[in-house]
Structure 1
Amino acid sequence: MDKQEPQFSKDFFKQFKNKEEFQSFFNNLFKQGVEQMLRAELDEHLGYEKHSSEGRNSGNSRNGSYKKKVKTDTLGDLALNIPRDRNSEFEPVLIPKGQRMSDKLEEAIIGMYSRGMTTSDISDQVKEIYGVDVSEGTISNVTNRITEHVKSWQNRPLEPVYFMVWMDGIVLKVKQNGKYINKCIYLVIGLKNDGLKEVLGMWMAETESASFWMSVLTDLKARGVEDILIACTDNLKGFTDAIKGVFPQTITQLCVVHQIRNSCKYVVWKDRKEFCADLKQIYGAPNRAAAEHALTTCSDKWGSKYRHAIQSWENNWDNLTSYFDFPLEIRKIMYTTNTIENLNRGIRKYTKTKIQFTDDASAQKAVFLAIMNIEKKWSMPLHNWGLVLHQYITIFENRCRI
């Protein structure tokens, strides 16, 4: 037979003048109920009820109670009287020792922190929603537990093969030796053989350099990565050599968007629109031969006025045009680092309230939580993945490890 819910008369509810009075009554009722259940637990533990003659020779007895503040999901802080025994053997199942805050509340705090809220904002929000007073220090302690998750995530084993990786860095203000300086968090996104993306890790240093990227790639290899088919990067000097030094078979593609931006630095404003239109004839060409012809035309037109801009294309030509060796579907995902730049924008969105970070750990903690939020949206493979996968298998054959 189903249990019937308790029924209360209308007169019962009339005794409360407002919701605060009802909430107070309900809190007290809940508190009394929990304490009664705890006393029943102690009776079970001791093997006899209070004032029973059976307890005279039991070897253990009740020893009053102690106050304990428990944070609940819905009722806020409750100060409970926890019964205890003389032998200190009683461990309540209902309210375990050491419990201070519910898991759901901790998850809520971490969730708010991951979305860019400050500790003071979270404290106010928790008070408003849950009716619980949580200090900023307590919130910091809760979020500091993320550090262990960051370490395990950073050291986790990786896939043996990634079809493509995008590499870039994001600069944050971090306190060091008493002053705030720019530090770069290096990020790598990998494309797996199921068409899904994942962030492979993050690494921090004061400046972005090819030598440090080599250490990043070495770390990826140590964590199980045996092969990277294609790597898309910015045009940092020495980056290509760093990749070849760790993954010699990897095809490197310099980001065309980065190249256009760098070229435009040498061009005066009134010429930029026309100059960019001519550049589009290069990177938008149907094949490498047409692109080379467009570069020659562009050089003839602008070479004398903007020599450095044109030379940059000529000097990096091989790594700028790798995508011409692939079908259109693969070209679209390899000629630009937009994938990782979108990640960086997402991280900025989640960390925009934290303009400065007190140390490396706090910066990494915030970036890690932002990444976790962003990756939740990466639940579908890349567009038209079936066709793209077929193209990869045809081009790279056994290296795909399907």
Structure 2
Amino acid sequence: MAATESLNVADLLGQHLESASPDVLRAMVKTFADALMSAEADALCGAGYGERSAERANSRNGYRQREWDTRAGTIELAIPKLRSGSYFPDWLLQHRRRAEQALVSVVATSYLLGVSTRRMEKLVEQLGVKQLSKSQVSEMARHLDAQVEAFRNRPLDAGPYTFVWTDALVIKVREHGRTVNVHALVAVGVNADGGREVLGLDVASDEDGAGWLAFLRSLTARGLSGVRLIISDAHRGLVGAIGAALPGAQWQRCRTHWSRHEISRRAVQHPSLVLYGDRCGDLAAGHYTVRGSRSASERAATASGVGGRGPALRSWRGAGCRPGGRGERDDRASWRLRTGTRRRSPAGGPGSPARRRPQVVDRA
């Protein structure tokens, strides 16, 4: 649990962007850097590019090309030139490694938190840029949309994806002046290299079979293949959609969801019994504490009775649960991403307006 609390979701998403397709990350960084330099040049000129204004103090005079070496490859930057004076981005004069990391962080955080005007202003302030108008920030935000859509709809050609985890995240957003719940349908898979990859993310008003079926079919249309095992909860609509969209794959119920169900069921049957256990522990082997208003002998009898009537709990610790290992029987891969997203997102509450675009995890 301690490792989960220290998870930086923006860094995790940046790593997924880098590993998924360097071309996508390189295009996103170039688009954002060009838009940022153009906005800074407009601020120095006192007017936008090609705009007539009485407040104009300078004008553009073409571009000069500069190469920027990054982890994603060499990026050709078009730095604006001015007729009077000169312009060079201060944030690029810093250590180039630091500037590159900052831009990757901005791109990943924009993808994660959404690209609203107010948030983008805070993000570019990390680079020391504080002279941008709201219209310029909005234009920069729109530049990222096409690149984000390309990442979301990229071909899934790193297969076969042997294992796939699917789950939904429910959060509150504001739509038309009222707070509603929306569902983010998430799929994480293991590619041919053994690495975990975010396969897809989509928005649905309700977690029903039709939404899951459309989501899974979109993944297969993008190239999802070779799936042998899908791990998820026991949602009927999801299980039926898996059978319809991926008929050759086996389905297994996520152990985390199963254990929570068993614990809640035992608590209803025995109100004086409180169970504490970890995912890789045997609850019936003693990982629980009994408390209540009855006598100690009665509570002890209740505890032993639960162990006797719970063969499923006793056999919980199986071959797929290795102490300190990485099993495939639960949704740990997507669970870390979802919990980190909920913790990181400032829009987890109803105070944020929702825009129905699937790339925004915190309102999906």
Shorter-chain TM-score bucket reads 0.5 to 0.7
Whole-Å separation in 2 of the counterparts to 1:207 and 1:221: 21
Q: Distance in 2 between matches of 1:327 and 1:272?
A: 23
| Distance (Å, rounded) in 1 between the aligned partners of 2:123 and 2:220 | 43
1:243 has 2:220 as partner = no
Q: Are residues 349 and 229 of structure 1, via their aligned partners in 2, closer, same or farther at CA, if it must alter by over 3 Å?
A: same
The answer to whether the 8 Å contact 2:173/2:347 transfers is no
Report deviation, 1:112. Answer: 5.9
For 2:126 and 2:236, locate their aligned partners in 1 and report how far apart those are by CA, in whole Å. Answer: 52
The residue that corresponds to 2:77 in the other structure is: none
Tell me, yes or no, if the aligned pair for 1:227 and 1:247 is still in contact at 8 Å.
Answer: no
Counterpart residue identity of residue 150, structure 1: V
Give the match's secondary structure for 1:232: strand
* 1:174 matched to 2:173: yes
> Do the aligned residues in 1 keep the contact of 2:171 with 2:362 (CA within 8 Å)?
no
Q: How does 1:135-174 map onto structure 2 within 5 Å? A: 135-159=133-157, 160-174=159-173
Change in 2 beyond 3 A, CA 1:205/1:129: closer
Report the AA paired with residue 219 of structure 1.
S
- Quote the residue 2:62 is aligned against: 92
The one-character-per-residue Cα deviations of 1:5-38 (angstroms, maximum 9, x if unpaired) are: xxxxxxxxxxxxxxxxxxxxxxxxxxxxxxxxxx
Residues 362-402 of structure 1: per-residue CA shift (max 9 Å, x gap): 6x3432999xxxxxxxxxxxxxxxxxxxxxxxxxxxxxxxx
For residue 345 of structure 1, the aligned residue among 330, 339, 350 is 339
Q: Encode CA deviations 1:104-127: one digit per residue, 9 max, x unaligned.
A: 699476466457597446536756
* Cα deviation digits, residues 306-359 of structure 1 (max 9, x gap): 9xxx79x79xxxxx99x9687969x94221111111010222233235634423
- Rg larger in structure: 1
SS of the residue corresponding to residue 179 of structure 2 reads: strand
Which position in structure 2 is the counterpart of 1:77? 44
Check whether the contact 1:174–1:359 (CA below 8 A) recurs between aligned residues.
Answer: yes
Unaligned runs of 5+ in 1: 1-68, 84-90, 285-297, 315-319, 371-402
Q: Give the Cα–Cα distance (whole angstroms) in 1 for the partners of residues 111 and 243 of structure 2.
A: 36
Asked if structure 1 preserves the Cα contact closer than 8 Å seen for 2:165 and 2:232, the reply is yes
Q: In structure 2, what is the Cα distance between the partners aligned to 1:141 and 1:227?
A: 41
SS of 2:274's partner is helix
| Correspondence 1:230 to 2:218 | no
3-state secondary structure, aligned to 1:263: helix
Distance 1:341 1:326, change over 3 A: closer
In 2, Cα distance between the equivalents of 1:226 and 1:179? 40
User: Residue 335 of structure 1 corresponds to which residue in structure 2?
Assistant: 329
Q: Is the alpha carbon distance of 1:238 and 1:180 closer, same or farther for their aligned partners in structure 2, counting shifts above 3 Å?
A: closer
State the distance in 1 between where 2:238 and 2:284 align: 26
Using the alignment, how far apart are the partners of 2:126 and 2:204 within structure 1?
39
Distance 1:238 1:162 in 2: 22
* Residues 1:132 and 1:227: Cα distance change in structure 2 (over 3 Å): same
Aligned length in residues: 266
What is the Cα deviation at residue 224 of structure 1? 1.4
Q: How much identity, in percent, do the aligned residues show?
A: 19
1:263 and 2:258 aligned: no
- Once the 2 structures are TM-superposed, how far is the Cα of residue 226 of structure 1 from its aligned partner? 2.7
Counterparts of 1:125 and 1:225 in 2: how far apart (Å)? 34
Contact 1:70-1:78 at 8 Å conserved across structures = no
Q: Helix, strand or coil: the match of 1:169?
A: strand
What is the TM-score of this pair, normalised by structure 1? 0.52
Distance in 2 of aligned mates of 1:214 and 1:70: 43
- Comparing both chains, which one has the higher relative contact order based on Cα–Cα distances under 8 Å and sequence gaps of 6 or more? 2
Offset of residue 144 of structure 1: 3.0
Paired residue secondary structure (1:335): coil
RMSD: 4.8
Q: Decide which structure has greater helix share.
A: 1
Q: Is the 8 A contact 1:162 1:193 kept in 2?
A: yes
Deviation at 1:168, TM superposition (A): 0.6
Q: Is the 8 A contact 2:255 2:330 kept in 1?
A: yes
Is the CA contact (8 Å cut-off) linking 1:71 and 1:132 kept in structure 2? no
Q: TM-score, normalised by structure 2?
A: 0.57
Residues 180 and 115 of structure 1: is their aligned pair in 2 closer, same or farther, counting only changes over 3 Å? same
SS at match of 1:208: coil
Q: Could you tell me whether the CA contact under 8 Å between 1:158 and 1:225 is conserved in 2? A: yes
Task: Report Cα offsets for 1:76-119 as digits up to 9, x if no partner.
Answer: 83555348xxxxxxx6345369xx99696994764664575974
Q: Which residue of 1 is the match for residue 207 of structure 2?
A: 208
